[in-house]
Amino acid sequence: MKSSRMKSAALPLLLAGLLLAGGAHANDAAHIRASHAWIRVLPGALPAGAYVTLENDGNQPVALRGASSSVYAEVMLHRSSREGGVSRMAMVDALNVPAHGKAELAPAGYHLMLMRPHAPVKPGDTVTLTLQFGDGSTLATDFVARPANAMDAGDDHATPAMDHDAMPHGH
């Protein structure tokens, strides 16, 4: 009882504090930096894998829970694994980004599975995915679409987010 009352009293204060600190972007993940964000584009409407490196410069661990996008009908956090020579893929609830550490979504491991694009995504396009974290914060991140046979984010992977010039218009 006591703790829940405290929580309900503390929440508006917390929100107010966040609003003051973050201005319009009240729920931006303040301590997470995303880089090497890319999508492996497959032909047609086949599901695609998205990869990104997340760095947490905060004092608290943050859990990536998933992502949303206006371009894909569904985004799921997945993990591929290999055991006894067998590959399988499973949905996971969260990927922990340790305090002052990093977590990588990379081929053959954790990835975001992007399903049912509303419009074709072509190599060279930029797609914004909004990463969602366990503390309710989000981070809009630009992913560069790469050809099916790409091995990584390519040369310009260091390009910071928020460049929406090439974003496909799937609404």
Partner 1 sequence: MKPRRWLRPALLLLLLATGVLLGACHRGEPLPLRLTNISGHMPDLDFKLTDDSGKAVTGADYRGKVVLLYFGYTHCPDVCPLTLAQLHVVMQRLGPLADGARILFVSVDPARDTPAIMHGYVNAFDKRAVGLVGDARSVEALSKRYRSAFTREPSAADGSYEVSHSSAIYVFDRGGRARLLATPSASQDDLVHDLHLLLDTGATS
Residues at the contact surface with partner 1, assessed by CB under 8 A: 40, 42-44, 46-49, 78, 80, 82, 85-90, 107-108, 111, 113-115, 147-151
Q: How far apart (Å, rounded) are the C-alpha atoms in residues 171 and 168? A: 9
Of 23 and 43, the one with the shorter C-beta distance to partner 1 is 43
Tokens of 112: 């975001």
Neighbours of 66 (CB within 10 A): 20
Q: Which residues pair with 138 in a beta bridge?
A: 28, 132
Q: How far apart (Å, rounded) are the C-alpha atoms in residues 43 and 49? A: 12
CB 146 → partner 1: shortest distance, Å? 10
Of 34 and 50, the one with the shorter C-beta distance to partner 1 is 50
CB 86 → partner 1: shortest distance, Å? 5
Q: How far apart (Å, rounded) are the C-alpha atoms in residues 114 and 128? A: 12
Of 29 and 127, the one with the shorter C-beta distance to partner 1 is 127
CB 17 → partner 1: shortest distance, Å? 39
Of 27 and 68, the one with the shorter C-beta distance to partner 1 is 68
Is residue 51 within 8 A of residue 157, CB to CB? The reply is: no
